[in-house]
Amino acid sequence: MEVIIDTSNQNSIYDSLEQLLKVKKEFIQYYILRNLNKLKEKYPPQTEISIPHFLSFLSEITHLDMTTIPNFDFITLFHLTTRTSKQIIEKEPLYNLFDALTENNELKYRLEKIGLTFYKEKDRLITFFKGNLIDWRSFLNGSESPTAQMIINRLEGNRFSPPDKCVNGFLFNGDIFENGDVRHIRYLPEIVDNMLRVLGEQQAIRNLCKEVTPFIITFKANVGEIIFDGSKKLNIKQTQYRIIRHCLYYLCNQYCRSWSEHDNPIVRMIDEQSVSEDRVLNVREVM
């Protein structure tokens, strides 16, 4: 049977940990209450929160020999997106950027109406606008130079990182649209806004924004297929431990009402992975 850590809210996390650790969730809640100050001070949680201390605490009150976190298969992630309707998400869940711009889907069709088309060429995407090949480097000397560089980084990569081919999401549910890294996505995908802005197509931006509604998609991801920002070299066990540390930090700060969406970790799927329909657990419209 697959084991999933459901990070939708405090209750789902406690229930998931109860199932995983085979201890009553009240014991886990007691650990949080007894260690509020210590947990709040442990920042960043991925390195500072002690799993051995957590397990030792539970062992002492349950009289069980708990020395390691059991393996689990999946984690829930939360992705902010804009679509014309909820029904579209049921047909077209989540694509990585390369597939979103080149495969048959709503976004590709809407961009084609404006004149934007994309083609995969080796390990990068090339762009045509109204039939003309676009060299984004030609905009690097203009007023939109920083934005043009962001486009190049995502479509072509640079000497430090490859092109953007991953789906990302937040580890915890909530008002993820308040996070500064994605706040603008409530209105339009960042890459689309960037490209149209550089091309001077302000009216196209306004028109596209009128057509869409923001949604939060909950999906499950295989623990072996996710990467925390800045931690590409973690193995599966290290990733599992990091997830548990983040959960303890989240539970503590939710109890203290000090949780901020800026504390919500961004998690990425491995490159070239998209999210299939059977991995989508919930879709919520952002009002």
Q: Map out the domains of the chain as residue ranges.
A: 4-74+219-285, 85-165+180-213
pLDDT band at 45 (very low <50, low <70, confident <90, very high): confident
Reading the block at residue 188, the tokens are 């339009």
With beta carbons less than 8 A apart as the criterion, state whether 227 and 240 touch: no
Angle at which helix 51-62 crosses helix 25-34, to 10 degrees, equals 120
Q: Which residues contact 121 (CB under 8 A, 6 or more apart)?
A: none
Q: What is the pLDDT of residue 41?
A: 76
Calculate the average pLDDT of the chain. Answer: 94
User: How many residues are listed for the chain in this entry?
Assistant: 287
Reading the block at residue 77, the tokens are 């992630």
Beta-strand relationship, 132-134 and 168-170: unpaired
Residue 230: pLDDT over 80: no
Q: How many CB atoms lie within 10 A of CB 82?
A: 19
pLDDT band at 48 (very low <50, low <70, confident <90, very high): confident
With beta carbons less than 8 A apart as the criterion, state whether 175 and 42 touch: no
What integer is the mean pLDDT of 251-265? 94
CA separation for the pair 240, 250 (Å, rounded): 15
pLDDT band at 232 (very low <50, low <70, confident <90, very high): confident
Note the pTM of the prediction, 2 decimals: 0.94
Which of 21-30, 38-47, 78-87, 173-182 has the least mean pLDDT? 38-47
Q: What is the pLDDT of residue 159?
A: 86
CA separation for the pair 77, 217 (Å, rounded): 8
Q: Which residues contact 71 (CB under 8 A, 6 or more apart)?
A: 3, 236, 237, 240
What integer is the mean pLDDT of 161-186? 92
What integer is the mean pLDDT of 26-44? 88
DSSP state of 259: -
Residues of the chain with pLDDT > 70: what percent? 100
Q: What is the pLDDT of residue 31?
A: 97
Which of 95-99, 160-164, 242-246, 267-271 has the least mean pLDDT? 160-164
Angle at which helix 10-21 crosses helix 236-255, to 10 degrees, equals 140
CA separation for the pair 115, 113 (Å, rounded): 5
ω before 44 within 30° of 0 (cis)?
Answer: yes
Residue 47: pLDDT over 80: no
Q: What is the pLDDT of residue 91?
A: 86
Q: Residue for token digits 């405090």? A: 10
Give the dihedral sign, CA 38/67/76/273: positive
128-149 tens-digit pLDDT: 999 999 999 999 998 999 999 9
Q: Which residues contact 58 (CB under 8 A, 6 or more apart)?
A: 21, 23, 27, 28, 31, 64, 66
Q: Residue for token digits 């960043």? A: 44
3-class SS at 61? helix
CA separation for the pair 76, 54 (Å, rounded): 22
Reading the block at residue 60, the tokens are 């002492």
CA separation for the pair 221, 176 (Å, rounded): 18
Q: How many CB atoms lie within 10 A of CB 195?
A: 28
